Amino acid sequence: MTLNLDIEDFLANSWQKKPCLIKQGFAAFSDLISPEILAGLAMEEDADSRIVQTNANTESGWLVVHGPFEEYESFGESDWTLLVQSVNEWVPEVGELLHPFRFLPDWRLDDIMVSFSCENGGVGPHVDQYDVFIIQGAGKRRWRVGNRQPLQELQPTEGLCLVNNDFNVVIDEELESGDVLYIPAGCPHDGIALEPSLNYSVGFRAPSQAELLWQLGDSAMANDVLTKRYTDPDSQAPLSGYEITEQQLDAVKSLLIEAISSDESSDLIARLLSQSKRPLVEPELPVTAEQIPAMLEQGAAFIERAPGARLLCLNNDTFYLNGEKLEVPEAAQQAATQLAKMHGSSPATELKATFSTPESQAFLAEVINLGGYYFFIDEAPE
């Protein structure tokens, strides 16, 4: 699956700067999931799903209902949208849509939300705090998109935050199958289905300072690091019990800056960025390094990255997977790098040379045992 995009031009002129429409970004695009399978997925207890209904019988005309769902007939045949988060972690074919966007950092990739809209379905004009690529599947949808601008927000119903509908528009287009719409964080947009439609939204994480600080502090406590405490040995009398002095405030800020700038903080941040949204599934029986050579000899065997797993590298030599720091000896560094670069599945026999040393085999066994990668046999008939 190839994205028809001039990446250098896009990064220089559009990424986080302005919205853009990529007509036929995916030529001859074929849907990766059917509306029926998506509807079935939204019936699962563990799936994060919701329906947004407009022209509903409510005071505001809007209604948000969270799954799991038991039926859809009560919503009628128009004016509603079903949205399911992280479909890439449920349906491998949908996960393949991440690969064309890996010109951006893996740790920024969040998930793929898939939505099915009946005619006139939509979620209203709104702003997202993350960057998103929206790929049009079956059907047609009209999109109106604006640059960042002052906006008034309203909440017509619980779980739905909208903006004033008269925002200044720079894109007003009907999207057809294979068209790709890029919308930077903070840009207002509104999509309305002109007919039953499928959309795939590839979202990118953009954590706030508060979120990062909270997660960093929580991780530091769990790992018993960044334990240096505030001290003020140079305090001078008299002191007022109710007053915070500029000297004290500067000392507290310096303590925090020192923590953020430390090597321990770098390690904690890398752990956080490597974490998966959902728990990774570990194998029922642990794999040993000694088993790896025989596994790689099997002709119908494949190794694939688990949905949602992130194998990241810090400073070219330190690897992280799902919050864990991996001890990778120099003899396994090249193999670890190749595995981190690997997209989709690879035939096991093609990886024999990469994982030919005891150190690289031990590394492969470790990431399989952590649930980041898995080994499977393709038993499909020829």
The pLDDT value given to residue 241: 79
**What is the mean predicted confidence (pLDDT) over 122-150?**
96
CA distance linking residue 370 with residue 376, whole number of Å: 16
**What is the mean predicted confidence (pLDDT) over 73-80?**
94
**What is the mean predicted confidence (pLDDT) over 78-95?**
94
**What is the mean predicted confidence (pLDDT) over 335-353?**
90
Residue 126 binned pLDDT confidence (cut-offs 50, 70, 90):
very high
Coil, strand or helix at 10: helix
Average pLDDT, the chain: 93
CA distance linking residue 287 with residue 303, whole number of Å: 13
User: Given the structure tokens 């405030």, which residue do they identify?
Assistant: 249
pLDDT score of 381 more than 60: no
The pLDDT value given to residue 199: 98
First to last CA, the chain: 23
The pLDDT value given to residue 327: 87
Phi-psi region of 120 (alpha: psi -120 to 50; beta: other; left: phi over 0): left
Residue 345 binned pLDDT confidence (cut-offs 50, 70, 90):
confident
**What is the mean predicted confidence (pLDDT) over 343-361?**
90
pLDDT score of 81 more than 60: yes
Identity of residue 73 = E
Residue 279 binned pLDDT confidence (cut-offs 50, 70, 90):
confident
Q: Where are the beta strands (DSSP E) in the chain?
A: 20-22, 49-54, 62-66, 80-84, 109-117, 132-136, 141-145, 153-157, 160-163, 171-175, 180-183, 189-193, 197-204, 301-305, 311-314, 318-321, 324-326, 345-347, 373-377
User: Given the structure tokens 């947004």, which residue do they identify?
Assistant: 52
Name the residue among 371, 178, 171, 185 with its Cα closest to residue 280: 371
288-342 tens-digit pLDDT: 999 999 999 988 889 999 988 999 999 888 999 999 999 899 999 999 999 999 8
CA distance linking residue 111 with residue 277, whole number of Å: 9
CA distance linking residue 338 with residue 335, whole number of Å: 5
pLDDT score of 151 more than 70: yes
The pLDDT value given to residue 244: 87
Per DSSP bridges, beta strands 171-175 and 80-84 are unpaired
Name the residue among 53, 52, 47, 51 with its Cα closest to residue 85: 47
Q: Are 129 and 183 in contact (CB under 8 A)?
A: no
The pLDDT value given to residue 343: 78
Lowest mean pLDDT across 156-165, 224-233, 339-348: 339-348
The per-residue DSSP string of 267-320 comes to HHHHHHHH--SS-----SS---GGGHHHHHT-TTEEEEEPTT--EEEETTTEEE
- Angle (CA) 328 331 337, round 5°: 60
CA distance linking residue 309 with residue 371, whole number of Å: 8
193-248 tens-digit pLDDT: 999 999 999 999 889 999 999 999 999 999 999 999 999 888 777 677 788 888 89
Residues of the chain above pLDDT 90, percent: 82
